Structure 1
Amino acid sequence: MLWQVAAIVVCVALGWFMARAIRSRRAEGVEGHAALVRAGFVSFAQILTPLLIAALVWGVKLVLVNFLHNVSLLKVALPIFASLAVIRTAFYLLQRVFARRGQLGAALVTFEKIFALLVWAGVALYLAGLWPDIIAFLNGTKLPLGRSDISLAMAIQAVVSVVVLLMLALWAGTALEERLMGMEGMHTSLRVAMARIGRAILIVVAVLFSLQQVGIDLTVLSVFGGALGVGLGLGLQKIASNYVSGFVILLERSLAIGDNITVDKYSGKVARINTRYTVLRSVDGTESVVPNEMLVSGAVINSSFTDRKTRLVTEVIVGFDTDLASLLPQIVETCRGVKRVMQEPAPEAFLLRFTPDGLLLEVGMWIQDPDKSKGEVLSEANLKIWSLLQAEGVTLPRATRELRLADPRFDVLLDKAATLDSK
């Protein structure tokens, strides 16, 4: 017994040190897009530790069984560490595939707890020696399926194989997407398109392989193909059109992540391009989910399609007695000192038109980063222009309106009102 306890302690310590060494070695000296690999390996270390411990315990059991007649403690420890590895692997896949902004939803957290409970219950039944009875019961229970019957064990095996293969396909698709998005030498839209296509291919292959493993004839998919065609004809045109439009946008590179666009009444920065919709994030942080069909069939204003520079405009009305020959160059120099305003092309100031109240001046300036707040630049420019006008003594005319009463009866009413006020 002491040999078995010592072997388990050594396996746990050795497995922990091996996992830590592998994690630290992979994480050192990684820069650029390889940081994604480093982050993934740090997460995978949670799986690596119980896997290595289970493998070491299994190897030690094979060795000690030749020298010791009783290795019951190792037989108990092996399924415990193996079940821990299974639980960690399932949690890792769920977090990699379904995590949203690094957090799992309440439903997935509940599923994790139920899955862990089922695994530990299975381990307890195995250690209690009840596995043979349970397997015999599952094999003996028949479920009617068409003209034939299948056992409950076969049905459970089919469901588990389909779920596992789909999870692996989704995990591989997520890893492929992270790898492609880290490649700086490729256009953003092309990277997203390749990631979406690769993920779709992996899912299709996983579904076909799982159906074949279960024993379902693949010719049955022709029935689903016919049903899909009927569905497209009856009401799925919009959904199919959005998916096709998504691939069109990605392949023709008309939009890219980071572009500032306006479509219909929605505007903002392209935060994410999915196969069915595109997410626009405005300056105030709100996100708009725009169907891809709108981006293909409608007019789109892309302020950063060929050039990210954006022109900002502000207007000011000055008095008719203002010396514009002296004021306009000073306004230009004032706008040059505003943060984020480009020096080339230089700011501009000119007389736009004559108004009844005064001279309308237009001041234009260019910025390189329109995805940031435009109001901040305009506010600073307006404050500097206001300070300049005050320093130069420029008058800002107020709108005046003269009201004349053409009907003589109004004069009589006004005289009566004045008489009443005097009393």
Structure 2
Amino acid sequence: MPNRFLTHMFGDLVHDFGQPAMLWQVGVLLATLVLAWVLARFLRRRLDRRQSLAGSGGLRFGAESLNRAFFPLIGAVLVGIARAITAEFMHTSLLNLALVPLLGIGLIYIVFFFARRVFSRDGENHAWLSLVEKVVSLVVWVGMVLTVMGIQDDVLAWMDSVRFRVANTHMTLLSLASGLLWVCVTMIVAMWLGSALEDRVMRASTLDANLKVVLARLGRALLVVAAVLVSLSLVGIDITVLGVFGGALGVGLGFGLQKIASNYVSGFIILLDRSLRIGDTINVSGLQGMVTQIRTRYTVVRGLDGIETLVPNEKLITDVVQNQSSFQTRGYTKVAVQVAYETDIRQAMALLAQAADDVPRVLQDPVPAPYLVNFGADGIDLELGFWVEDAATGTSSVRSAVNLNIWRLFAEHDISIPFAQREVRIIGAGDILPQNLAAAAQPTSAAAPEAG
């Protein structure tokens, strides 16, 4: 077996070593690599300029692998052309050997590019992405080593000779490996096409926001289903067996997965009938907030306190939902204050209305209105009601600004805000109280203990 290794690429390289043809091969290889480096640098600059204009972190993250793939792929093409031209004049053992790592490394980076576009659209390194990159690197490097050693045919023949049985199907190790490879390739391509379709649909300005989400998710689901069917056909699995699986799945949906299926169907209904949109302010089961995401299983609602809540889509279909953004985005709020009984009430109410002037987000149509609410135990209760723009973003800062203006205006016009005062009377203790006071005023003395 070692002699056979030497009769392949390494053997041809050793045979040409020291011959004039080797110098020509080195010169041709260096020239093609230099030209490949120049072309790759030019393409990198164009791609970097385009990605800087796009401004997407996920696209730049995937473009790193594409930038690295330019040099080996262009080099492989140029070396292949040079080998085809020079093969008629001299041996090309060095060029044959150089093609293997160039093609292999280029293939690795191309797969990395597609995997990053599929599993890491936000520009972060996820666990699935790391696993795919490690498996691809291992498989490609093993293939390159086997190709250089010239035993790839022997390894494939051995894998084809290992036979086993799965149910009623006879399979070999080679068919299993090729099947898994085709499944992975078709799934990655389908998910990449789905991501590209989603990006294209989301950038469309003529489509409704809900329709964009429906088209993107429906397109991705159809592509994944098509990829599964194609990969199963390539492996040799009869697709008709999926009918039995579909029946079992229907029974499972009818029992254990009923809620999950209901949430998925409800999500598509919400997106199609456009009853809710991203950015709407809703109130469902006491939860009030703004819709930030509509997923296929749940809807994300951001409350007025900034906390996001996942609401199952089925709840948005079966429960009563108040959509406060379907008509108006403003909201009504009020502030309360108490003044002393000797205060000029008309002046105090005019100052209350003035306190809402020039406060951001306070609407002047309808105008803020002061009210005399109640005659309290410590003073007169007044109230200022007004409308606030974009109430879903919160009203605490607006009410605080109005209260500060009220405090300033009341201080400038000598209007006091009373505090609680209580008078305590003791009934029937007129004779006892003076005696107790006299006893308390007398000095007390303590006798020293006798010495024992």
- TM-score tier, shorter chain, comes to 0.7 to 0.9
Q: Please say if 1:61 is aligned against 2:61.
A: no
Q: Once the 2 structures are TM-superposed, how far is the Cα of residue 231 of structure 1 from its aligned partner?
A: 1.0
1:381 aligns with 2:402: yes
Return the offset for 1:227. 1.0
Aligned: 1:14 with 2:39: yes
Change (3 A) 1:220 1:157: same
Give the superposed CA RMSD. Answer: 3.2
Query: What percent of counterpart residues are identical?
Result: 36
C-alpha distance in 2 between matches for 1:44 and 1:192: 25
- 1:113 and 2:134 are equivalent in the alignment: yes
Shift of 1:129: 2.5
Native 8 Å contact 1:142 1:151 kept in 2: yes
Q: 1:291: Cα distance to partner?
A: 0.9
Contact 1:51 1:85 in 2 (8 A): yes
Distance of aligned partners of 1:163 and 1:64 in 2 relative to their CA distance in 1, 3 Å threshold: closer
Q: Distance in 2 between matches of 1:420 and 1:202?
A: 98
Q: Which residue does 1:258 correspond to in 2?
A: 279
1:111 CA drift (Å): 4.3
Residue 186 of structure 1 pairs with residue 211 of structure 2: no
Return the offset for 1:54: 1.4
Q: Kindly indicate whether residue 277 of structure 2 is the aligned counterpart of residue 294 of structure 1.
A: no
Q: Which residue of 2 aligns with 1:307?
A: 328
Superposition deviation, residue 320 in structure 1: 3.0
Equivalent residue number for residue 449 of structure 2 = none
Where do residues 194-343 of structure 1 align in structure 2 (5 Å cutoff)?
Answer: 194-343=215-364
Q: Deviations over 1:226-262 (max 9, x none)?
A: 1112112222111111111111111121211122223
Equivalent residues of 1:277, 1:291 under 8 A apart = yes
- Structure 2 CA distance for partners of 1:182 and 1:312, relative to 1, 3 Å: farther
C-alpha deviation, 1:5, in angstroms: 2.0
Question: Secondary structure, in 3 states, of the residue corresponding to 2:43?
Answer: helix
Structure 2: how far apart are the matches of 1:242 and 1:421? 78
| TM superposition shift of 1:306 | 2.5
Q: Distance in 2 between matches of 1:83 and 1:374?
A: 61
The structure having more radius of gyration, on CA atoms, is: 2
Is 1:73 aligned with 2:91?
no
Judged with a 3 Å threshold, the aligned counterparts in structure 2 of structure 1 residues 62 and 358 are, in CA distance, closer, same or farther, namely same
What SS is found at the alignment partner of 1:279?
Answer: strand
2:446 maps to what in 1?
Answer: none
Deviates more, 1:69-78 or 1:135-144: 69-78
Q: SS state of the match for residue 416, structure 2?
A: coil
1:86 is aligned to 2:86: no
Aligned length: 415
Residues 11, 333 of structure 1: CA spacing in aligned structure 2 closer, same or farther, 3 A cutoff?
Answer: same
Secondary structure of the 1:186 match is coil
Pairing partner for 1:166 from 187, 210, 215: 187
**336 and 226 in structure 1: CA distance in 2 versus 1, 3 angstrom threshold:** same
Partner residue of 1:5 out of 27, 30, 36: 30
**Secondary structure of 2:419's aligned partner:** coil
Q: Does 1:367 align with 2:392?
A: no
| Cα distance in structure 2, aligned partners of 1:402 and 1:233 | 72
Counterpart of 2:346 in 1: which secondary structure? helix
> What residue ranges of structure 1 are gaps of 5+ in the alignment?
none
Change (3 A) 1:187 1:415: farther
* Corresponding letter in the other structure for 1:57: A
Structure 2: gaps of 5 or more residues: 1-25, 443-452
What is the alpha-carbon distance in structure 2 between the residues aligned to residue 405 and residue 219 of structure 1? 96
Q: CA–CA distance in 2 between the matches of 1:173 and 1:420? A: 95
Letter in 1 for 2:32: A
Aligned-partner residue type, residue 192 of structure 2: W
Could you tell me how far apart the structure 2 residues matched to 1:356 and 1:300 are? 41
Distance 2:127 2:430 in 1: 76
Pick which of 140-149 and 259-268 moved more.
Answer: 259-268
**Contact 1:51/1:82 (<8 A) preserved:** no
Gap change, CA 1:231 and 1:147, over 3 Å in 2 = closer
Task: Point out the more displaced range, 138-147 or 261-270.
Answer: 261-270
Q: Deviations over 1:358-389 (max 9, x none)?
A: 33333233333345343222222221222122
Q: CA 1:360–1:162 in structure 2 vs 1: closer, same or farther (change >3 Å)?
A: farther
